[in-house]
Amino acid sequence: MQIEATPAPTEIFQTPAWVQDAIFYQIFPDRFAQSAIVPKPNNLEAWDAPPTIQGFKGGDLMGVVDHLDYLQDLGVNALYFCPVFQSTANHRYHTHDYYNVDPILGGNAALARLLREAHARGMRVVLDGVFNHASRGFFQFNHILENGGNSPYLDWFTVYQWPLRPYGPGNSKPGYWAWWDDPALPKFNTDTAAVREFLWDVAEHWVREGIDGWRLDVPNEINDDEFWREFRRRVKRANPDAYIVGEIWGDARRWLAGDQFDAVMNYLFTKACLGFFIGPRGIDRSAIAGTGLDPVESLSAEGFAQAIDHLLGMYPWTATLAQLNLLDSHDTARFLSIARNDTSALRLAYLFQMTFPGAPCIYYGDEIGMVGGKNVEDARRGFTWDRGTWDDDLHAYLKCCTALRHANPVLRRGDYTGLGGRNGLYVFVRHLDGDVAIVALNASDTDQQIEVDLPESIGAVSIDSAWSGPVPEVAGRTTRGWTIKARSGDVLLGRTMKRASGESDSNT
């Protein structure tokens, strides 16, 4: 049964305030780090070998605990994990048991330890919730495989043809609804009351165990607004501050009306960044062809300004401040590979990401220059812990950007005004209670000297450089003689003059 979207209730839309201060780091658990504490099975792939579809490298949650110092030093204060529950797939989207962490990852004890250690550092932990489909090994589905039409769990899934073909042969239909007809991923029948209760209970259970939220895998494929409304009610009942972020690749207004998700993975942001910071210099089209990112339009500064203005106008401001703003993920080629290893494009994108409304999300290893193509296995390589292979300049630059965001609430909560774009240059301003940040991004190949006129609503300002660089001349609301180097960005920080003289100034 397909249930169409219905109007949302007229309640006030609130999202977790902590997300506005978060810088996320996405971890693919099998590939980030190993710990000697967690016993390892035999027959693991070599860590540095090219990953394969069915190969395991043996990363675990205690390996993450061992590297929390590294993540904290990077400026990360929130972790988003690809699935951690028991599964026979290295990516663990084939869930066998929703109440137990995979033993290769260290089991429930490792997750409990990770939560304690992360929370002690003020770091949040968000898990991946795969609620659209299970796996062939999921108990209730396996019960059907063993007992056929006699199974009391028959209505947990949708069988349309006997015999079932969970392992083929060839391109034959599996006989049951499966995610994209993949027989390994039988789809839940969420019209069945027992299934709904099971999934809601899983969601509530782990929030009560201490996780800080859920990233929802393909939630649009549970085409039932009331399912997600009740999901929100259950999760927020367990913890009103829990974060609910959905994997929606396009227009997400249906789910961001205040009654379902707090935010989505902001792939529209991703595409705009690819189009502007890389586009004019040549996107590697082979890295995005046929993927969820395709098509990516090459954007001029004017086109980028229009795309960002449109994006900022799509959702309630509370949702915009909670969006998960990413440059790439486990489902895409890495940003550097799409950029043909142009690190200037990634540096520009990092500065924009760290000064834009919403929560930035760093995909593990991007910060040290890891690459990986359209083949998702290639984009899920083992993290390179040999520091001799790192791009130290890129790593240091990202640390400067994360520190800038943490140090300035205006970059996390301030109003946003785009000042337009031309000649490869885009400028915007953030404003919060008298604090002002002016950000200029020069994606062109030439240095540019610019003059910036701030909106009248902000008024005259006094400014300084965020990077300890030269400070341009300021006359009232106008900055003159500000030089932005080619393929780089700059930030000015300041205060409104009337605020500095003791008069009140509120954020409009």
The catalytic residue positions are 217, 247
Q: Who contacts 219 (Cβ-Cβ below 8 Å, separation ≥6)?
A: 131, 132, 228, 246, 247, 248, 255, 261
Alpha-carbon distance of 153 to 166, in angstroms, equals 17
Rg over alpha carbons for the chain, rounded to the nearest Å, is: 24
465 membership: H or E segment, kind and range: strand 461-465
DSSP-based three-state secondary structure for 500: helix
Looking at residue 363, what DSSP letter applies? E
347 membership: H or E segment, kind and range: helix 343-355
Q: Which residue has the tokens 């028991």?
A: 86
DSSP-based three-state secondary structure for 32: helix
Q: How far apart are the first and last CA of the chain?
A: 45
Alpha-carbon distance of 441 to 425, in angstroms, equals 6
295 Ramachandran zone, left/alpha/beta (phi>0; psi -120 to 50): beta
CB 315 within 8 A of CB 257: no
Q: Given 3-state DSSP classes, what are the helix, strand and coil percentages for the chain, each rounded to the nearest 5?
A: 35, 20, 45
Looking at residue 278, what DSSP letter applies? I
Which of these, 356, 371, 180, lies nearest to 268 by C-alpha position?
A: 356
